[in-house]
Amino acid sequence: MSGLGSLWRDSAAEIFTARTLQGEFSADLVILGGGFTGLSAALEAAGQGADVILLEAETIGHGGSGRNVGLVNAGLWLPPDAVCATLGQDAGERLNSALGAAPELVFNLIDTHDIQCEPRRNGTLHLAHASKGAADLKKRYDQLAARGAPVSLIDSAETAQRTGAQGFHGALHDARAGTIQPLAYARGLARAAEAAGARIFEQTPVMSAMRHGGQWVVRSSGAKVRAKALLIATNAYHRPLEQMALPQVPTVNFFQLATEPLGDNIAGTILPGGEGCWDSALIMSSLRRDAAGRIILGGMGDESDIQEGWARRKLIRLFPQLANVTITHSWAGKISMTSDHLPKILRLGPQGMSIFGYSGRGIAPGTLFGREAARALLSGDEAGLPVNPVEQHSERFTRLKTAIFETGARMVHGLSVR
């Protein structure tokens, strides 16, 4: 089954291509990384009339944005009280409020720019994988409801009806959220940014970035860009840069497989309301449908025989009617996972920032952080940033943590659902 390829690449209705950058250029803002953060920043900056150049080492959406599950979630993996406990009450509530509204930003951009990315805003279901998970969801519900979020708890019987699967101990429904085709969304943002005047280049890996003569100077093998401001938005797919040392952050692999399109008789019994799902297990799993009626199951771990075997077994355990369906796609991506599970804005110098660490929540936070970073870098006013920039950030034992995540996923998946 390995090497079947990404469903998102094969099904994306949005097409975007760009040439490689060659020569010397100047800009108001240069952006490294063609994912949700960088593209949202490019769209915002170009919309303000700024001269923007975005450089992507591969193709638009090549990294985590194009390998995403496609859940447009509100908030973070952490419950809101935990966010406040880490950041402090005022800063925590500022981030909670901003990210609670972030799905609205995503779906508004989709509507405004007519992005063909299968948007469906029926909410998401956070599934309780065990009784402890149900208790955790009740605590999360209480925290969200106290902040006025449109959330509801559903029992195991209703969860079975809304998923088509037995065995879950209940779920938390969040009406703010939804699903999209993530690579198509990224490409649509690129198209919209280019239409607004941004200059976007693919297959342009940057070799160095430095501050010189009051400007940022970015070099690739065949080009040089001078810019007043710099945004590095490469996240889990960052490549080392000469003259620029960014902190290492542990990464987590996330694997997905997709079935062939299913007929209405079968597909109609699975997630009939169209919600995207993820569960409360430490080694998390995800579940959703696409517009063609494919069932897409994901889990932490790399694209290996162990993960594929686990995913196939779990799919059949959840939905016995899928025992004979064909798996047409399998792919994996990397998640940048900070130690406190909070995204970071690292100050690189005057009018320079790097953003990373969404910990698996890339779509809505990335779109929001990119927009606000562009505004701050162009205006010099950082009041609208969702979190305060930090002057430095360090993570200990990053490679070891990455190895532990992967080993844990393989052990759990190798032993489970046999």
E strand intervals along 260-400: 276-279, 285-289, 295-300, 327-336, 344-349, 352-356
Residue type, 267: A
Burial of 222 (0-12, 13-18, 19+ CB in 10 A): exposed
Nearest to 39 by CA among 20, 48, 52, 26: 52
Nearest to 182 by CA among 230, 118, 90: 118
Distance of CA 323 to the CA centre of its chain: 30
The per-residue pLDDT for range 250-292, each reduced to its tens digit, is: 899 999 999 999 987 787 899 999 999 999 998 889 999 999 9
- Domain boundaries defined on the chain: 7-415
Q: Quote the pTM value.
A: 0.95
Q: How far apart are alpha carbons 377 and 41 in whole angstroms?
A: 10
Please name the helix (run of DSSP H) or strand (run of DSSP E) that holds residue 191, with its range, or none. Answer: helix 182-195
For the ranges 105-114, 239-248, 320-329, the lowest mean pLDDT is seen at: 239-248
Per-residue pLDDT at 340 exceeds 80: yes
**7-415 — its CATH code?**
3.50.50.60
| Predicted confidence band of residue 418 (pLDDT cuts 50, 70, 90) | very low
Phi, psi (deg, nearest 5) at residue 313: -65, -45
Structure tokens at 234: 């490469």
The average pLDDT across 119-130 equals: 97
| Predicted confidence band of residue 93 (pLDDT cuts 50, 70, 90) | very high
CB burial readout 79-117, b (16+ within 10 A) else e:
bbbbbbeebeeeebebbbebbbebbebbbebbeebebbb
Residue type, 385: L
Q: How far apart are alpha carbons 199 and 54 in whole angstroms?
A: 6
Residues sharing a CB contact under 8 Å with residue 137, sequence separation 6 or more, in sequence order: 126, 128, 153, 170, 171, 172, 280
Nearest to 53 by CA among 72, 37, 71, 33: 33
What is the residue-wise DSSP string for 65-112?
GGG---EE-SS-SS-HHHHHHHH-HHHHHHHHHHHHSHHHHHHHHHHH
The per-residue pLDDT for range 156-191, each reduced to its tens digit, is: 999 999 999 999 999 999 999 999 999 999 999 999
Alpha helix segments (H runs only) across 237-349: 264-267, 305-318
CB burial readout 372-393, b (16+ within 10 A) else e:
bbbbbbbeeebeebbbebeeeb
What is the residue-wise DSSP string for 123-138?
-EEEE-SSHHHHHHHH
Q: What is the pLDDT of residue 400?
A: 64
Please name the helix (run of DSSP H) or strand (run of DSSP E) that holds residue 55, with its range, or none. Answer: strand 52-55
Strand-pair partners of 354: 232, 346
- Please state, rounded to an integer, the average pLDDT across all residues of the chain: 93
